[in-house]
Structure 1
Amino acid sequence: MPPSDIPPAYAAGQRWHCEGRQPGERPTVLINRIDQHPLGGRIFHITLDGLQLRHRGLPGGVMTRLAHAPVTEQTFARSGMVYEGPHPAASDYRKGYDEWRRAFDAGNAGAFDISVAALLDTLEQQLAQRHPAH
């Protein structure tokens, strides 16, 4: 894609790909919604696809999609984002968003500001704790 086709700012309805955790891994990032944080800044509600997360709780032991993750713009700056083009919002992000919103409004949730690769490592570690090996 020529540089002139890159949008000037991140916006809902955009699809990107970014650096993964290992060579050849290229997760896609779909921006579904953007909320203004009450203390400043924006929270991006994204869907991640093309994942290879170990998850013992799933058949096959691998998670390939995360329907919802709240992140800040720093996540994008740290992830080597490459614009792919416009894309409609994912239909399955809303349930996770609604759960996050209730927790956020109660002061019990925030947003990630780490790279997508680091976010995936964190998620994989949490999944391993919830679903230990037998």
Structure 2
Amino acid sequence: MRLTALVAFLGFVVTTMAQAGDYAVGQIWSYRTRPGEEASHVIIDKIERNSTLGQIYHVTLRGVRMKNLNMSSGFQDLLPHLPLAKESLDKSVTALIGAGKADPEFLDGYREWKTAFDAGKAGVWKASLKQIVGTLEKAINP
């Protein structure tokens, strides 16, 4: 009985690890969220290769509950564009929950980032998504 449970557990771990490394445009992932944001998810919008940084993953976060005093509700539920290193996704995602298309909301932010990146004035996030949301929340609410 114990051996069967161990084999099943190891199979789950190996499957989860394999899934987490195989990212594709349009995938929707759950991730390790802040309390109260459990319904939030990440959509992979674009993957590009950079000779210095490797793969850059451009993602949208939907369903966050980020305090933003500039919004009439006082909260923001969408982060339309975040440029991430693979390590950020690897330490954040928990399960592949769907697949579809890139979220069109990301394009404006991507274009702005790309211009700044090409000029050497922007980079990519390496922190977990949970940490990124917290950092952005602190930055926009002095």
What range describes the TM-score normalised by the shorter chain of this pair?
0.7 to 0.9
Partner of 2:38 in structure 1?
25
Q: Conserved in 1, the CA contact under 8 Å of 2:20 and 2:90?
A: no
**Using the alignment, how far apart are the partners of 2:65 and 2:134 within structure 1?**
11
- 1:53 is aligned to 2:66: yes
**Using the alignment, how far apart are the partners of 2:116 and 2:46 within structure 1?**
17
**Unpaired segments of 5 or more residues in structure 1?**
130-134
**Using the alignment, how far apart are the partners of 1:24 and 1:107 within structure 2?**
33
Partner of 1:132 in structure 2?
none
Q: Conserved in 2, the CA contact under 8 Å of 1:19 and 1:27?
A: no
- 1:39 is aligned to 2:59: no
RMSD value, Cα: 2.1
Distance 1:119 1:40, change over 3 A: closer
Identity %: 30
> TM-score, normalization: structure 1?
0.87
> TM-score, normalization: structure 2?
0.82
Q: Conserved in 2, the CA contact under 8 Å of 1:18 and 1:26?
A: no
3-state SS, counterpart of residue 15 of structure 1: strand
2:87 equivalent among 51, 55, 74: 74
**Using the alignment, how far apart are the partners of 2:117 and 2:83 within structure 1?**
10
When you count helix as a share of all residues, which structure comes out higher?
2
Structure 1 or 2, whichever has the larger Rg, is: 2
CA drift at 1:81: 2.5
CA drift at 1:24: 5.9
**Using the alignment, how far apart are the partners of 1:23 and 1:56 within structure 2?**
18
Distance 1:7 1:70, change over 3 A: closer
- 1:65 is aligned to 2:78: yes
**Using the alignment, how far apart are the partners of 2:27 and 2:118 within structure 1?**
26
**Using the alignment, how far apart are the partners of 1:119 and 1:7 within structure 2?**
19
3-state SS, counterpart of residue 81 of structure 1: strand
